[in-house]
Structures are given as C-alpha cells and as structure tokens.
Amino acid sequence: MNHVKIEDITPVSSGVGVLPGVAFCTPWRRFDYAVIDPGQVRSIPTAGDGVEWGCLVLEGQVEIEAGAALGTGVGPGFVIGPVSAKCEVRNTGDRTAHVLYVEVATGAGGDAKRMREGVFDEGLLTWRDAIHGGSGRIATRHVLRPEDFHSTWTFLDHAILSAGGSVGYHYHDALEECFVVLRGRGLMTIDDETFEVSPGSVTWQGIGQAHGIFNPGPEALDFLRVAVAHRDEPYTTIDLHDDLSRREPTSQE
C-alpha cells in the first residue's frame, strides 16, 4: 500500500494504523492516526523503553503531557516527546484535532531529550531549483535533522512545489519515508505507478522504491516528509534522471 487518504480512514480517538499493509524495515514502529474532539484526551502508551515518538498535528490544537514535560501543538505543527515517556494528548481547541503519531525505536534505552514543538511555517522555507533532477522550483526546510533525534528518525521536512515543479524520480538505500499533503494537488509516482494526491494524502516510499512528485498546477503543492533510516547502515539517494513532468496517472483497469 503506497497511498491512503486520511478521509478514508475510520476516525477513532484511540488511533488506527495509517498504513496497515506496510512492514517497516527500519526502527520505525508505529504510524497511527487519531481524531480527537474538543475537550477529549487520548492516552498513548509507548512500546517500552528506548522509543522516540512524535505527533504531527494536521488540524486543531492539542496539549501533550509526557511525564514532567508539556508541549503544545497547533496545526499544521508538531510535538516530539521525550524518549519512552507515555503521553496524553488533550484537545484544547474548539474544533476537532487530526493527529498523526510516529514511533521510532532507539535501541537499548537511551537518555531522554526535551519536548520539542513547532509549526510548519511557509515563511521559514528557502526557495531553490528543484531537487533530484526535478523541474521548476521548490521551497524546503529541514524542520528537524538527524542531530535533533535520539533515534534514527532522520528528517522531518516541510516543502512547497511551485506549479510545474517536481521532486525528480529517485530512490533511497536504507531509508523509509512518507509524504503528507497539506495543500494543493499533484501527481505522485512510486515504482512507475502514477496517481493523484491532494490534501490528506499520505504516501509511503520503502527502501529502494523509486519515487517522485510533480505539481501540474495551478496552485502550489504543500507537503511534509517523514524519513527514518536503518540503525547501522548509511542511507544514500540515487537520482534516476526523470523530472516526471510527462507522466500521466496509471490506468487502474
């Protein structure tokens, strides 16, 4: 399964797996989605010692308590919690909160890090020429980098593709990732299958799976990237020299 729409996932406050057919190859352990009504609290137990977790708040406002640490997430934004700490997520806003929960194993134990929080702010992005042999322009920001994590959670990125822009076709060794579309529409290609993505789309790119994304326009395409690497193997990126601008959606017949 390489693509799901959040609107097609049965919304439950206790959380449900976003990609139930995916077998993680890296220390990525959980990828859940929860809908939390105003005033409601959701308790998230971690899988045990040596687990780093984070909440991506797509919509709404939440307060997250983990031990003595307290963080606030305002959508679209994020909260990354202390290692191994159980967290409680409370909707403190006046509308429904939509939250993606990521959990990555750190190995045997490890020192906890502080709660980190922030927003995905278009004004903090830097525009440049398209990457991986793509077309047009892209604005990017490594919101969190490898040194910001205790686990092999490697990147939490925010990007915007201009109309006519693309992230060229490429693949990664030793790295798994997903894209989460916040705004706009585009064409995603994974292993030569091209399909449309729109707000609420979540795509999955496993190790060695060729992928890229093209924005045919007319509006900008705003998306997040979550990437997790193998623990003991360096990741690499191999470009395949295709800007994807000539790709059409693959027939489903």
CA distance 27 to 8: 27
Question: 57-91 burial, b for 16+ CB within 10 Å, e for fewer?
Answer: bbbbbbbbbbeebebebbbbbbbbbbbbbebebbb
The dihedral formed by the CA atoms of 87, 92, 96 and 102, expressed in degrees to the nearest 10: -20
155 forms beta bridges with 227
Percent of residues, the chain, with pLDDT higher than 70 = 92
Mean pLDDT of 154-161: 98
178-227 pLDDT, tens digit per residue, is 999 999 999 999 999 999 999 999 999 999 999 999 999 999 999 999 99
Mean pLDDT of 17-32: 90
Confidence of residue 131 (pLDDT cuts 50, 70, 90): very high
| Least confident piece of the model among 7-16, 39-48, 143-152, 235-244 | 7-16
Statement: residue 75 has pLDDT above 60: yes
User: Would you state the pLDDT for residue 20?
Assistant: 81
Q: How far is CA 112 from CA 20, 28, 44, 86, in A?
A: 29, 18, 17, 12
Question: Is the separation of the CB atoms in 62 and 55 below 8 Å?
Answer: yes
Name the residue type at position 163: A
142-153 pLDDT, tens digit per residue, is 999 999 998 999
84 contacts: CB under 8 Å, gap ≥ 6: 46, 48, 49, 50, 51, 110, 112
Statement: residue 157 has pLDDT above 80: yes
| Least confident piece of the model among 104-113, 116-125, 224-233 | 104-113
Confidence of residue 240 (pLDDT cuts 50, 70, 90): very high
Percent of residues, the chain, with pLDDT higher than 90 = 75
H helix and E strand count, the chain: 0, 22
30-56 pLDDT, tens digit per residue, is 999 999 999 999 888 765 678 889 999
User: Would you state the pLDDT for residue 253?
Assistant: 43
199: its two tokens: 């707000």
Q: Domain 122-239 belongs to what architecture?
A: Sandwich (2.60)
Statement: residue 101 has pLDDT above 60: yes
Read off the pTM: 0.94
Phi/psi at 213 (nearest 5 deg)?
-140, 140
- Looking at the chain, the domain(s) classified CATH 2.60.120.10 span 3-119, 122-239
Three-state SS annotation for 115-145 = CEEEECCHHHCEEEECCCCCCCEEEEEEEEC
Terminal CA-CA length for the chain: 17
Is CATH 2.60.120.10 what the domain over 3-119 is classified as, yes or no? Answer: yes
**Listed residue (146, 143, 132) closest to 224, CA to CA:** 143
